[in-house]
């Protein structure tokens, strides 16, 4: 039952929106199906990774997850029941034709700028992570790769996140308008991001576009979509092994779960969370909410969520030598390390309420507007802006470029 409790609780945080909006038009939740399968079902149900940890830690972990999931659900229900009305955002004010023209013009400008700046970033660093001698360290810009990265860090991050934000929109523009430039530029942008070994940003934009098209096409295409999403995530999970960046040294090939071990290694969230909680209980380091703003401060600030989680699990190591981007902790665990049990309840209620509220508006816009271009902007708005606000406890400086980009899609600024 332990694995079931873990899986159900994490699924509520990952795909709980289905409870209030069980529809094939709920594109933003479809996008999480593959991730939930890889990061929750496989390790909790198939591999039962929790058995590798002390019973006391697993029991505490389950209590935190279950309590948080209940509060999160209550918050979603409260937020989703709020009334919505037409806003003053550009796509609610302008005619569909005028808005699409502006969106196409803006997307073209951002694509050209982002591609040029990302290419210059690689040139300025003098290396490409995929072809580096130590690809994993290069991906996280650790060790010898840190200094050359810092020379172009601002340019690299800004261009990378701008491109990852607009890929779904540019893909839909090509699909809807058949403008050759958007096909070619989108493929180039995906290729450049792919070279960084950041799987999620490189693949997610394209997956969003596919999900949007298939969800609104028909019920049959929607069923195909769910299979496609899970397949893409399965492929993504073994990607590093296929290209030789990671080896199968820690995998028991003779085990009947050998294949699932490979999948589990690609998304070790539950393992990481249990290891984190184990270390935290031995050496508590309460945040008192300081990770809310820690990620907005440049550099390796102590309360940056990435720095904080790495310091907890490896207190005696220099984080510059750790090839990791930090741990992905669920909402209730962030609440617990902030304000103990009151934090679990408070963080999950607030996050759930914001989730339900923003989902209600997203539903309104997706069903109100027939334009696929507008629908793509709405989905990106939810993923890039609303999700950032929902996860208020781990705000990041890297969320600023996408939010600035979306301002131009949301409001009317003159573009020359």
Residue 205 CA to residue 58 CA, distance in Å, equals: 35
Is residue 162 one of the residues assigned to a domain?
yes
Please list the residues that pair with 295 across neighbouring strands. Answer: 396
Per the model's pLDDT, the better-predicted residue between 35 and 337 turns out to be: 337
Is residue 160 one of the residues assigned to a domain?
yes
Q: What is the pLDDT of residues 270-283, one digit of tens each?
A: 999 999 999 999 99
- pLDDT confidence of residue 337: 96
Give me the mean pLDDT over the 168-175 stretch.
95
Structure tokens at 350: 């607030």
Is residue 299 one of the residues assigned to a domain?
no
Inform me whether the pLDDT recorded for 320 exceeds 70: no
Per the model's pLDDT, the better-predicted residue between 309 and 198 turns out to be: 309
Please state, in angstroms and as integers, the Cα–Cα distance from residue 92 to each residue in 365, 371, 383, following that order: 8, 12, 19
Q: What is the pLDDT of residues 80-126, one digit of tens each?
A: 999 888 888 999 999 999 999 999 999 999 999 999 999 999 999 99
Is residue 264 one of the residues assigned to a domain?
no
Residue 392 CA to residue 385 CA, distance in Å, equals: 11
Share of the chain above pLDDT 90, in %: 60
* pTM of structure: 0.88
Is residue 22 one of the residues assigned to a domain?
no
pLDDT band at 257 (very low <50, low <70, confident <90, very high): low
Structure tokens at 314: 């490896």
Share of the chain above pLDDT 70, in %: 91
pLDDT band at 140 (very low <50, low <70, confident <90, very high): confident
Is residue 204 one of the residues assigned to a domain?
yes
Q: Helix or strand or coil: residue 295?
A: strand
Please state, in angstroms and as integers, the Cα–Cα distance from residue 297 to each residue in 215, 300, 307, 397, following that order: 39, 8, 12, 7
Count of domains observed in the chain: 1
**Which residue's structure tokens are 């803006």?**
106
Give me the mean pLDDT over the 54-76 stretch.
97
Give me the mean pLDDT over the 23-33 stretch.
91
- pLDDT confidence of residue 244: 56
* Contact status, residue 390 vs residue 334, Cβ threshold 8 Å: no
pLDDT band at 326 (very low <50, low <70, confident <90, very high): confident
Is residue 346 one of the residues assigned to a domain?
no
Residue 380 CA to residue 401 CA, distance in Å, equals: 13
Q: CA angle 277-279-284, nearest 5°?
A: 85
Per the model's pLDDT, the better-predicted residue between 325 and 162 turns out to be: 162
Is residue 76 one of the residues assigned to a domain?
no
Give me the mean pLDDT over the 326-334 stretch.
92
Angle between helices 372-381 and 199-215 (to 10 degrees): 140
Q: What is the pLDDT of residues 232-251, one digit of tens each?
A: 877 777 766 665 555 555 55
Which residues form the domain of 158? Answer: 99-243+371-410
Please list the residues that pair with 396 across neighbouring strands. Answer: 295
Residues 6+ apart with CB under 8 A from 113: 159, 162
């Amino acid at each position: 039952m332990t694995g079931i409790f873990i899986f159900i609780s994490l699924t509520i945080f990952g795909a709980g929106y289905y409870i209030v909006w069980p529809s094939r038009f709920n594109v933003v939740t479809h996008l999480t199906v593959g991730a939930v399968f890889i990061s929750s079902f496989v390790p909790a149900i198939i591999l039962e990774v929790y058995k590798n940890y002390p019973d006391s830690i697993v029991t505490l972990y389950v209590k935190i997850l279950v309590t948080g999931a209940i509060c999160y659900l209550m918050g979603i229900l409260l937020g989703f029941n709020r009334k919505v009305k037409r806003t003053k955002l550009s796509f609610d004010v302008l005619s569909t034709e005028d808005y699409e023209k502006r969106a196409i013009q803006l997307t073209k400008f951002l694509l050209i700028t982002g591609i040029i700046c990302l290419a210059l970033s690689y040139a300025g660093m003098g290396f490409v992570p995929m072809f580096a001698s130590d690809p994993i360290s290069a991906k996280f810009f650790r060790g010898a790769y840190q200094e050359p990265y810092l020379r172009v860090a601002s340019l690299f991050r800004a261009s990378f996140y701008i491109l990852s934000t607009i890929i779904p929109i540019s893909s839909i523009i090509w699909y809807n308008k058949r403008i050759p430039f958007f096909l070619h530029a989108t493929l180039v942008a995906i290729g450049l991001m792919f070279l960084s070994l950041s799987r999620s940003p490189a693949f997610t934009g394209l997956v969003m576009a596919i999900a949007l098209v298939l969800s609104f096409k028909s019920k049959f295409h929607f069923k195909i979509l769910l299979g496609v999403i899970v397949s893409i995530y399965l492929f993504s999970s073994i990607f590093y092994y296929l290209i030789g960046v990671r080896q199968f040294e820690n995998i028991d090939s003779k085990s009947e779960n050998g294949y699932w071990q490979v999948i589990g290694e690609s998304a070790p969230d539950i393992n990481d969370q249990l290891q984190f909680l184990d270390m935290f209980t031995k050496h508590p380091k309460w945040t008192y909410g300081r990770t809310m703003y820690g990620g907005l401060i440049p550099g390796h600030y102590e309360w940056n969520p990435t720095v904080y989680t790495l310091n907890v699990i490896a207190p005696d190591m220099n984080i510059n030598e750790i090839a990791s981007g930090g741990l992905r902790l669920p909402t209730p665990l962030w609440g617990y390390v902030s304000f103990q049990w009151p934090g679990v309840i408070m963080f999950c209620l607030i996050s759930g309420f914001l989730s339900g509220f923003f989902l209600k508006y997203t539903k309104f816009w997706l069903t109100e507007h027939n334009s696929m271009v507008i629908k793509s902007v709405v989905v990106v708005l939810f993923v890039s802006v609303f999700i950032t606000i929902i996860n208020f406890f781990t705000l990041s400086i890297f969320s600023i470029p996408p939010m600035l980009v979306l301002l131009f899609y949301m409001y009317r600024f003159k573009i020359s």
